[in-house]
Amino acid sequence: MDTHTYPVTRTDAEWRARLTPEQYAVMRGHGTERPGSCALLCEKRAGTFSCVGCDQPLFESKLKFESGTGWPSFNDPVPGSVENTIDRSYGMVRTECHCARCGSHLGHVFEDGPPPTGLRYCINGVALKFDPAA
C-alpha cells in the first residue's frame, strides 16, 4: 500500500466527482485504457500534456513520438513532474509512473524508446489533458 503523501490529496468521493469512470479506473485504480482509444494519441500540435487529476504539466509535445503501441508516448517528462515505482502486477516487473503532485497512475516507462533518453513513457491518454501553445 502506498503511504506516500502528495501535495494534492483528495478523498475517494472527491476523485470520483472530478474524474470520469474511465479516468478513475486508470488513475486511481492503476488500470489501462484500451490501446488506440484516446484522441490524444494523434495530437501533434505544440503544447503541454498535463495531469487530469491536478493540472500539473507532465510532458511537452516536442518530446512526444509515435511508438506504434496505441498509447501516447514521450521521451522524457517535465523535470520533477513524474515519480516512478516498481509494479509487480500481472506476473511482470515494470516501472510504473505516476504524477508527483497527486499520485495518480499515468502509465509505465520502458527502456525501448528513441534517443536521446532511450526511454518510452507509455501514458494512458485519459490521464492527460492537452493545452495548446499560445
Instruction: Measure the CA–CA gap between 58 and 101, rounded to whole angstroms.
Output: 10
Q: How far apart are CA 104 and CA 97, in angstroms?
A: 9
Q: Which residues contact 103 (CB under 8 A, 6 or more apart)?
A: 2, 4, 6
DSSP secondary structure letter of residue 100: T
Mind telling me the catalytic residues?
122
Would you state the cell numbers that stand for residue 118, as one nine-digit string?
Answer: 532511450
Lay out the sheet containing 94-99: strands in order across: 64-65, 73-74, 120-123, 105-110, 94-99, 82-87
Distance (Å, whole) CA 32 – CA 4 = 22
